[in-house]
Amino acid sequence: MKRPVWIFLLLVVRAVPAAAHHGRDFLIVESWELPHPHAFYLVTSEELHRVHGETAFHTEPSLLFGIRERVAGEVHVHAEREPGQSFRYEAIAPSVHVQLTPPESNAPWRFAASAEYEFARRRAADNAALTLIAARSAGEAALIFNAGVERQQQGTAHAVYALGFRPRLDAPVTWGLEAAGRLHRGQSQQLLFGVYLQPSERLTVKIGAGAGLGNGRPAAVVRSGIVWSFQPRAKSTAK
């Protein structure tokens, strides 16, 4: 346990200088659940929105992997195409996720934390984020709340939030509501209605539509994502 803890503490220290990456169960909300040790997930996150009548595209493919019980790591890449510009790589970001509440707990709320450091391309400023996750289940429904801080290197820190609700997590087809943004008047906010499809145990497809608020007129936003899970093979007991 010592090595993951030191990695986590190191990232926390550096994180007092980009939003944390999106979870497996939502489009923009980070979940409490983590992969088991040696299991990993390929996770994509895409965003399409209109800026002054033109379209911008952002994508963040990532690899999420279990390190040990209640500890997981993640690496994602950020690329984008802004209006009038070509598609380009922007940053790479490692992160660590830790469950603060054990899975066997019967407490009404479960807590987790994540820390991320984003190494920006060329001369752009690095970013870092620290996030606290609170999750509550009510039957098959799930309510998730994220609260955190983001800071650009040599810049100002911002308080951020994300909130998500799904009436069912384990269902072939279900819906959900999500919201995220900065906790400051006039800052960018997003409201989304999402549809989550799980055609198999290994594959989840997410798509959502909504609006970006806070900077001028509301902007149309479309988000999507794919989650593909790879579980470790069970050891054979045959002789």
Q: What domains can you pick out in the chain, each with its CATH number?
A: 2-230 (2.40.160.40)
Q: What is the mean pLDDT of residues 105-118?
A: 94
Q: Which two tokens stand for residue 98?
A: 């830790």
User: Which pLDDT score, from 0 to 100, does residue 14 have?
Assistant: 35
Higher pLDDT, 129 or 3: 129
User: Which pLDDT score, from 0 to 100, does residue 77 have?
Assistant: 94
Q: What is the mean pLDDT of residues 127-154?
A: 91
Q: What is the mean pLDDT of residues 158-170?
A: 93
Q: What is the mean pLDDT of residues 119-145?
A: 90
Q: What is the mean pLDDT of residues 163-186?
A: 90
Higher pLDDT, 13 or 129: 129
Distance between first and last Cα of the chain: 33
Q: What is the mean pLDDT of residues 159-174?
A: 94
Give the tens place of pLDDT for each residue, 16-52: 333 334 467 999 999 999 999 999 999 999 999 876 7
Alpha carbon distance 23, 60 (integer Å): 12
User: Which pLDDT score, from 0 to 100, does residue 82 have?
Assistant: 84
Q: Which two tokens stand for residue 195?
A: 């549809």
Q: What is the mean pLDDT of residues 182-208?
A: 89
SS (H, E, C) the chain: CHHHHHHHHHHHHHCCCCCCCCCCCCCCCCCCCCCCECCEEEECCEEEEEECCEEEEEECCEEEEEEECCEEEEEEEEEEECCCCCCEEEEEEEEEEEECCCCCCCCCEEEEEEEEEEEECCCCCCEEEEEEEEEEEECCEEEEEEEEEEEECCCCEEEEEEEEEECCCCCCEEEEEEEEEECCCCCCEEEEEEEEECCCCCEEEEEEEEEEECCCCCEEEEEEEEEEEECCCCCCCCC
Sign of CA dihedral 193, 34, 130, 51: negative
User: Average pLDDT over the chain, rounded to whole?
Assistant: 84
Q: What is the mean pLDDT of residues 94-113?
A: 95
Q: Which residues pair with 67 in a beta bridge?
A: none
Q: What is the mean pLDDT of residues 99-123?
A: 92
User: Which pLDDT score, from 0 to 100, does residue 195 have?
Assistant: 97
User: Which pLDDT score, from 0 to 100, does residue 116 have?
Assistant: 95
Q: CB–CB of 37/68 below 8 Å?
A: yes
Q: Which residues pair with 75 in a beta bridge?
A: 63, 94
Q: Is the pLDDT of residue 3 over 50?
A: no
Name the least confident of 116-125, 158-167, 171-180: 116-125
User: Which pLDDT score, from 0 to 100, does residue 53 have?
Assistant: 77
Q: CB–CB of 99/113 below 8 Å?
A: no
Q: What is the mean pLDDT of residues 89-117?
A: 94
At residue 234 the predicted structure's pLDDT band, cuts being 50, 70 and 90, is: low
Higher pLDDT, 19 or 149: 149
